[in-house]
Structure 1
Amino acid sequence: MAKNDVRPVVKLRSTAGTGYTYVTRKNRRNDPDRLVMRKYDPMARVHVEFREER
């Protein structure tokens, strides 16, 4: 029960429009806002921003 409260699983969707996603965990206490990370999108073959999807 406590495992899912602090570090939930979140989906990161590419802003390039390819539909590619990463799945990761985040600490809700340190990052209460939506997570934004710059990662590699293999479908677009470039590094783009990935935003948290709820």
Structure 2
Amino acid sequence: MAARRQDLRPVIKLRSTAGTGFTYVTRKNRRNDPERLVLRKYDPVVRHRVDFREER
């Protein structure tokens, strides 16, 4: 049962596009978002909101 849960909502890393190397770790639903996720979040290194892209 646990393996099935991991398949549907895998843990992903969101890396900053500002080039700072800062990452967020989250889960995503593969059915709703099959392509790579891009979220606009706060990067404390540059102290601005920037795009964070999914890294595999």
Verify: 1:11 aligned to 2:13, yes or no: yes
Deviations 1:3-50 (A, max 9, x none): 111000000000000000000000000000000000000001000000
Aligned length: 54
Structure of higher CA gyration radius: 2
Unaligned runs of 5+ in 1: none
Identity of aligned residues (%): 74
**Alpha-carbon distance in structure 1 between the residues aligned to 2:29 and 2:5:** 11
Cross-structure match for 2:50: 48
> Matches of 1:35 and 1:41 in 2, distance apart?
17
* Aligned counterpart, 2:4: 2
Normalising by structure 2, we get a TM-score of 0.95
- What amino acid is the match of 1:49? D
